[in-house]
Structure 1
Amino acid sequence: MTTSSTAGPRSTAKKTTARTTATKTSARKIAEQLRVKDDESPWNEEEIREVRGVLLEEIEQHRVELKLAEDELDDLLRASGDGAGDDQADAGAKTAEREHEISVAANARASLRQAEHALEQLEAGTYGICENCGNPIGKLRLQARPRATLCMTCQAKQDRH
């Protein structure tokens, strides 16, 4: 047992170093694969790590938001009972609050899916390609909105409809 406790920190340090090296190699490979617009510089490892970090933070944030919204909705449903004896104003307020929590949960779930999809695309080397026209989305747009799946032209067309 004493041997494993002394080996533990070294083993952890080796795993961390291996993970960091793998991440650098992975970031380098991803950067080499990603397409950019003609007037943009290629992605570099630092930019890839930054975008990955932002996406991971968003994923965690949306998971927390979703859990809170679902818990709040569960609490509302338990507290509301069958609604017997509620006047119209109380029933309306409860319905509005319930609908609000359903909406919050749906938005968090959709944002979570988008962030997870973007991370999957990043890892696959297909990140930054417009899902509509197949052209590069653009680094600046992706750095501002890492979950973007459409180039500005296709996004504008979609917004008009």
Structure 2
Amino acid sequence: MKSTTTAGAKSTATKTTAARARGLSDRLRVKDDESPWSEAEIKEVRGILLEEIEVHRQELQLAEQELDDLLRASTDGAGDDQADAGAKTAERVHEIALAANARAGLAQAEHALEQLEAGTYGICENCGNPIGKLRLQARPRATLCMTCQQKQDRH
């Protein structure tokens, strides 16, 4: 009986996801020279974002664990020469940077998924124009069109 219930739940979830994708394909904006988003394209982008979220969560967990281990293993530094103290500091800084990068990537991927679900995915957060399907397929977390991204990179 459980397998039937599980299969039924999976079927319902699949139908719900497909219906949501159909509704999104009509609402997501594209550039004038691009075709509308297809259900398959939306499903692919959603899958990529979900995978990125999971990878960033794992990276963040690992980096935080490494940092915790470093902090627990470190003592007050008594007896360390300058090279040892510097190496420990550099290692901590590296782990902090890894955690920060994973946290930022996670936030970006979650934001993109929220936008996808809300039907606002693919709209430049600076100028309000469509970002472009090709750019989003290459970089699903993009929040700026190429013009705005280039302006931001210059500053």
TM-score range, shorter chain: over 0.9
Name 1:114's counterpart in structure 2: 108
Map 1:83-94 onto structure 2 (within 5 A): 83-94=77-88
TM-score by length of 1: 0.95
Deviation sequence 1:22-52 (CA, Å, 0-9, x none):
0100111111110000000000100000000
Whole-angstrom CA distance in 1 between matches of 2:55 and 2:97: 17
Q: Does residue 78 of structure 1 match 2:72?
A: yes
Displacement of 1:159 after TM fit?
Answer: 0.3
Task: Work out the CA distance in 1 between the residues paired with 2:19 and 2:74.
Answer: 54
Residue equivalent to 2:40: 46
The residue type equivalent to 1:109 in the other structure is R
What is the TM-score of this pair, normalised by structure 2?
0.99
Partner residue, 1:4:
none
**Match of residue 31 from structure 1:** 25
RMSD of the alignment, in Å?
0.4
Task: Give the whole-Å Cα distance in 1 for the aligned partners of 2:71 and 2:79.
Answer: 16
The amino acid that maps onto 1:141 is R
2:149 matches 1:152: no
What amino acid is the match of 2:150?
A
Q: Which amino acid aligns with 2:55?
A: Q
Q: What count of residue pairs does the alignment treat as equivalent?
A: 155
Dislocated runs of 4+, deviation >3 Å: none
- Give how far 1:82 is off: 1.3
* Structure 2 residue aligned with 1:131: 125
Unaligned stretches of 5+ residues in structure 1: 1-6
- Unaligned regions of 5+ residues in structure 2, if any? none
Percent identity of paired positions between Structure 1 and Structure 2: 77
CA–CA separation in structure 1 for the residues paired with 2:96 and 2:48: 26
Question: Which structure has the larger Rg over C-alpha atoms?
Answer: 1
1:96-107 residue pairs with structure 2 within 5 A?
A: 96-107=90-101
User: 1:1-12 maps to which residues of 2 (within 5 A)?
Assistant: 7-12=1-6
Equivalent of 1:55 in 49, 52, 69:
49
